[in-house]
Structure 1
Amino acid sequence: MKDLKLRITQNIGPILALILFLILYVFYSSLHPRGFTSDLFVQNSNEALTLILLGMAQTLPVLLGGIDLSVGPLMTLVNSLASHLVSGSAVEIVAGMIACLVVGALGGLLNGLIVVYGRLQPIVVTLATGAVFSGIALFLRPTPGGTVDPDLNWVATNALAELPATYGWWPNGSPAWFQFIQGIPMPIIILVVIVLVVWIPFRRSETGRACYAVGSNEGAAYMSGVKIERAKLAAYTLGGLFAGLAGLYFAIQTGSGNADPIQAGTYTLNSIAAVVIGGTSLFGGAGGVIGTIFGVAVLRSITFCFRVVDSDSAIGFLANPLLQPMFEGLILLLAVSIGAAGIFRMKNRLSIFR
């Protein structure tokens, strides 16, 4: 019982984000004409996955106690590159996707190298590298356009059932076990695979635990023999990989590339908000990508709810598109304030033992 209580206390942020998401999404689905259907869930998961992956990219630097302002520009850089490379034969498509992910990881590694060996503040470094990434993205894609393989677009943005239908699996009919899961959206499958293959092994590794130690207390971690530099480089590189995944999926989803700097800035700010809502501390050392996933789900659910509010109802003012950014900002401010209150309360408790 005590162990369960401790786990709940340690994960209170993600739990609250999950509860808030369920409340908002049930409200949204109850008002939507296609509510509680697989088609609506597929559409919503498509809209959320890019920001989820970018929020995961932001989570790694935040765990170290920093903020990465380059995740949005790096995403647009990979997105622009993908619009040139992810087409043609199967071999060319796979090679193009690998190249995009390598570019994302190298962008994160560049941030890490400058932060570690340049001994500069992450927010300053990533502000500068973000401008560089945006410039390269605009050079690659001055105007929106390009082409991404349409079959890949169709499969990655629909339900799991489209995978065998597109590539000719089971011509005599799908097996019973597949019929049971065929309604699951492909974005959810992609997300689960990334979490299981990339995040969980990293979280449980020595380097992953070192990132948490560095974020909690870098001085104490150093005195304990933690390899500070390796942990930071690994965190920024993995963050770059997640940003690359976000840019690649965004290109696949839209079927083209777009190097819009305003879009990159919006995604960056939303990624920070998602991290905070998901329970990751801006002071570092606490949280994780699971909470960030629920944080993005909350953000997107708020936007979804605004779409279905009847303008003639008592809360019809929420449907006004000119006021929606203000409401979203107020909700985010409330979420950040609650998180900050928890930090200050903990500091006040610790001051008793001084």
Structure 2
Amino acid sequence: MKDWQYRLRGARTTLSAIAVFIVIFALYAAKHDGGFTGNVAQTAANKGVLLAFVAIGQCFVVLTAGIDLSVGAVFILADCLASTLVTGSPLAVAFGVVAVLVAGLACGLVNGLIVVYGRLQPIVATIATGAIYFGLALWVRPEPGGDIDSNLADAVTGQLPGGIPSSLVLLLAIILLVWVPFRRSVMGRAVYAVGSSEASAYMSGLPIRRAKLLAYGFAGLFSAVGGLMLSFITYSGEASATNASTYTLNSIAAVVIGGVSLFGGAGSAIGAVFGALIFRTINDLLFVFDLDPLWQPLFLGLVLLAAVSFGSLRLLRIRNRLELFGQ
């Protein structure tokens, strides 16, 4: 098999997610009363990147064959912290942004330390830490409110010349600066190897502990970026339990729709991003087609079930589990 054929085969799930997104977004834009305008694209992008950032964080953990049920709580904690810290002078705003990102990274590293050195199951560990992080969010912001630097918020959530949404450009820049170098690094290969077979990765001398710590750290960091974006969009913060649980579950849905294997070792953050955009666009499609809100959760559940089932069909066709990772 030639090199380009191998790369194309490995990227087929991501390419499929991109194709599906293009189709359903074109359908959404065609059905929308306003058509495909800059304002429609800006609104869709701002909603989509919130889930996209959380989905990227979830993707890192899922690639190790783990799962992080605290990403929604970290997302809300970052939102509450931002509504308190990202205001005032330019220096204070910069300090606030850094503080929020460091807090998210710290939350992720705590999860990683518990999973790696405490040897607890990721589901159990992150349920517990998620409750703690949400408690901290309530302590920081017991009532909705706060303030955000409007200049920075408008710059991040507005439009660039040509009607290009700034939030999409920020998302693309972060993927290029973080995901692409990570995927090509030794630690990136270690994360994939851990998800494929942790025992084999250990026997190969790969730094499996550091790889897991890095994956959980990135999960917290990207969830915090999403929380910052939420603050920039709403100009305030709120410790919402509903949003915390919704974004946690939707992030899992997004990585599955984007072709990331829940068994670990296969998929990409780019696929997770388009999975998030697909999931958000499906919500918008239900709105523009005026589907009864009572039926929307059922429809979304069927979409998720179909995505999970489609991904699992590969396991029924293979005779050797190594074929799953020989993309």
TM-score range, shorter chain: over 0.9
1:105 matched to 2:105: yes
1:182-193 aligned at under 5 Å gives the runs 182-193=162-173
1:155-203 Cα deviation digits (max 9, x unpaired): 2111014xxxxxxxxxxxxxxxxxxxx4211001110111111111111
How well do the aligned residues superpose, as a CA RMSD in angstroms?
A: 1.5
> Among residues 196, 209, 212, which one is paired with 1:232 in the alignment?
212
By how many angstroms is 1:349 displaced? 7.7
1:326 matched to 2:298: yes
Q: Which residue of 2 aligns with 1:15?
A: 15
Asked if the contact 2:315/2:321 (under 8 Å) is kept, the reply is: no
Cα distance in 2 for residues equivalent to 1:72 and 1:349: 32
Cα distance in 1 for residues equivalent to 2:4 and 2:41: 32
Question: 1:143–1:228: structure 2 CA closer, same or farther, 3 Å change rule?
Answer: same
Q: Which residue of 2 aligns with 1:179?
A: none
Question: 1:89–1:350: structure 2 CA closer, same or farther, 3 Å change rule?
Answer: closer
- The alignment of Structure 1 onto Structure 2 pairs a total of residues equal to 323
1:172-321 aligned at under 5 Å gives the runs 182-309=162-289, 311=290, 319-321=291-293
Cα distance in 2 for residues equivalent to 1:142 and 1:347: 54
Q: Which residue of 1 aligns with 2:314?
A: 342
Cα distance in 2 for residues equivalent to 1:156 and 1:4: 36
Asked if the contact 1:58/1:68 (under 8 Å) is kept, the reply is: yes
Asked if the contact 1:113/1:233 (under 8 Å) is kept, the reply is: yes
1:298-352 Cα deviation digits (max 9, x unpaired): 101111111211x5xxxxxxx111111110110111011000111332246879x
By how many angstroms is 1:215 displaced? 0.7
Asked if the contact 1:70/1:130 (under 8 Å) is kept, the reply is: yes
Residue 336 of structure 1 aligns to which amino acid in structure 2? Answer: V
1:113-152 aligned at under 5 Å gives the runs 113-152=113-152
- Of 300-309 and 325-334, the range deviating more from structure 2: 300-309
Asked if the contact 1:13/1:277 (under 8 Å) is kept, the reply is: no
TM-score, with length taken from structure 1:
0.88
Residue 296 of structure 1 aligns to which amino acid in structure 2? Answer: A
Residue 261 of structure 1 aligns to which amino acid in structure 2? Answer: A
Asked if the contact 2:49/2:277 (under 8 Å) is kept, the reply is: no
1:35-74 aligned at under 5 Å gives the runs 35-74=35-74
Cα distance in 1 for residues equivalent to 2:249 and 2:9: 27
Residue 256 of structure 2 aligns to which amino acid in structure 1? Answer: V
TM-score, with length taken from structure 2:
0.95
Q: Structure 2: 5+ residue runs without aligned partners?
A: none
Asked if the contact 2:71/2:220 (under 8 Å) is kept, the reply is: yes
Give identity over the alignment, percent.
Answer: 49
Q: Structure 1: 5+ residue runs without aligned partners?
A: 162-181, 312-318
Residue 180 of structure 2 aligns to which amino acid in structure 1? Answer: I
By how many angstroms is 1:38 displaced? 1.7
1:47-83 Cα deviation digits (max 9, x unpaired): 1111000000100110000110000001111110111
